[in-house]
Structure formats: structure tokens, C-alpha cells
Amino acid sequence: MSRGAYVLHDPSGADAQVILIGTGSEVYPCLVAADQLAAEGIPARVVSFPSWELFEIQPQAYRASVMTPGVPRLAVEAAASFGWDRYAEASVSIDHFGASAPGAKVLAEFGFTGENVAAAARTLLGR
């Protein structure tokens, strides 16, 4: 955590075609999505990204090693998408208010599942 973001999962035997970024509880759906994408021949990196502020003060070489330039990125944030455009071309996020239900039901309803994250990654990749 001291560096703000780090690689939690890298595909074996291939370079990542997409980077899935989670901030906390969103990391788990990213890991599930990475497994699903790997089964389809789409290698995905998963990055845990708990702090923009700490990440931004890291050396450029470190930031590039985590967020590989040229690799499409999908942020998964169970809050607003605001600010993620600095790090990702797309996001699974919530930019509105008004939902109330048990937590797991709300998360599933708004797409915070491995299946939906994988689908969003495919869309980002044009597949």
C-alpha cells in the first residue's frame, strides 16, 4: 500500500492485453474477471489501487511498471467514475444516487461482478 498501487495478479506466459484496476472490495471481481478472460485467451493484469496520492509521488519507472503504457485499462470503483480518466479509458462505476438494498444485491445490480467486469473489459478491447 505504501506505493499507492501494485500488481496483484499478472497473467502467466503472456503480456497483459488489459489492466483491471480495483480499489478495495472491487479487487475480487477484477480477479474473477481476469480468470474468465484468461479462459478466453485474453491475458489480464489486476492492479490493486488504494491511493492515487501515494501512486502519483512514485517514480515514473514504477508507475509505468504497474500501469503499462499502451495497455487498455478498466477501473472498477463502487463509487463515482470521477478522476479515473487519469488512469483508465473506461470504468465500471456508479455516477448516481438512490439505490437501497442489501450490499451484495446492490453490487450485483450495478455490475460489480466478475462477469460484468469481464464484459466491460471485452467491450474496451472491442471484442
- The total number of structural domains that make up the chain: 1
Say if 58 falls within a structural domain: yes
Say if 1 falls within a structural domain: no
Query: What value does the mean pLDDT take over residues 65-70?
Result: 96
pLDDT on residue 97:
61
Grid cell of 71 as nine digits:
495497455
Say if 55 falls within a structural domain: yes
Say if 53 falls within a structural domain: yes
- Domain holding 40, by residue range, is 6-124
Least confident of 33-37, 41-45, 103-107: 103-107
Say if 39 falls within a structural domain: yes
Report the alpha-carbon distance of residue 49 to residue 1 in Å, rounded: 8
- The enclosing domain of 108 has a CATH number of 3.40.50.920
- Please return the burial class of 72, using the count of CB atoms within 10 Å of its CB with bins 0-12, 13-18 and 19+: middle
Report the alpha-carbon distance of residue 99 to residue 10 in Å, rounded: 34
